[in-house]
Amino acid sequence: MKNILVTGGLGFIGSHTVVSLHEAGYNPIILDNLSNTRIDVLGGLEKLMGKKPVFFQGDVNDAAVYDQIVSQTGPIHAVIHFAAFKAVGESVEQPLKYYHNNVQGLITLMLAMERLSVKNMVFSSSCTVYGEPDQVPVSEETPTKPAASPYGVTKQMGETILKDCTWLQTQCLRYFNPIGAHPSGLIGELPLGVPSNLIPYLTQSVAGLRPPLTVHGGDYPTPDGTCIRDYIHVCDLADAHVASLNRLLGNKQQDHFEVFNIGTGTGQSVLEVLHGFEAATGEKPSYQVGPRRPGDVVAVWADAGKASSVLGWQARRSLSEMLRDAWNWQRKHS
């Protein structure tokens, strides 16, 4: 089995991808510093994988950790790099924390990969690299614009660094808004502290763990005044990583740096999500409309045609399924 180092592998997207990698016959090796997750995610993974996951607690900025891992696991065939902070609002308040972890961490990882002759990377990028697009949907050829938040800048910087390192074969996946949870309810989204993202805050507030949701802005130039995003089931996103890795390790890559939008191709507003949550779960969220959040773009959703034609991947799960699985996870986890 091929060893795949998954940095941030105990996180929301990372943990779901670890399950998909295992099911596809790869050997996922998890590196996580537990800064935005909990060690008990390992228990959920063990149940889903039928074996104890290979886990190393450590930080992507610790240069020595990679040598320690390889000395125990043997050669790494590819890295899937999830480990990064990802809250748009928080990055506006704490930019340096984001540059240190997201940019310096990537550089430390890449220096280790060069040293250890690991030449394959799947990079977790984001639709935030498009900034506020002039038109939607955005394709991979849509010019990137100044990001609306330091988080988005760190992803733009990451893409530039990877593009410039032609010795590395990179699959750059630009995620849209990952939500939901594994249908088993054994793993899901579990941010530490008060969730910045819409769905974990929504499910925690409906479960009575948080005050009612505040909708960040109701006066945007959209049909109902709230921001529009492309929400994608985290399991669809996990499957996209396997499709990308198969291309990478199958030497099918045409260029050293390939970019794919990983979204559903459909945009939904915050209010549409709230109404969809009630329709999918029978639970009526209470909320109030508050001021806009700095760093938010008005509307962004994907043209996902390239991932379909080149990777042979497309999102299969509906918004209703995403919201039902998110609520199932919350009820099981509460």
**Nearest CA among 274, 267, 259, 298 for reference residue 125:** 259
Rounded to 5 degrees, φ, ψ at 48 are -75, -30
Q: From the CB of 119, what's the least distance to ligand WQD, in Å? A: 25
Q: What's the closest the beta carbon of residue 220 comes to ligand WQD, in angstroms?
A: 8
For residue 38, give the amino acid letter.
R
Within 116-171, residue ranges assigned H as helices are 150-164
How many Å is the Cα radius of gyration of the chain?
A: 19
Element (H, E) at 262: strand 257-262
Q: Check: CB of residue 181 under 8 Å from CB of residue 131.
A: no
Q: Name the catalytic one among 130, 151, 175, 201.
A: 151
The angle, 0 to 180 degrees and rounded to 10, between the axes of the packed helices 105-115 and 64-73 is 50
Active site residue 99: no
Note the residue count of the chain.
Answer: 334
Q: Which of 89, 259, 67, 64 is nearest to 158 (CA)?
A: 259
Return the exposure string of 299-313: e unless at least 16 CB atoms fall within 10 Å of the residue's CB, then b. Answer: bbbbbbebbeebbeb
Residue 199 region, left (φ>0) first, then alpha (ψ -120 to 50), else beta?
alpha
Considering the complex, what minimum distance in angstroms separates the CB of residue 73 from ligand WQD?
28
Q: Which residues bind ligand WQD (CB under 6 A)?
A: 86-88, 126-128, 175, 177, 196-198, 201, 213-216, 227, 229, 270, 293, 296
- In a 3-state reduction of DSSP, which class is residue 198? helix
Sequential DSSP letters for 86-122: --HHHHHH-HHHHIIIIIIHHHHHHHHHHHTT--EEE
Rounded least distance, CB 115 to ligand WQD, Å:
28
Q: Are 285 and 321 in contact (CB under 8 A)?
A: no
Q: Which are the catalytic amino acids?
A: 151
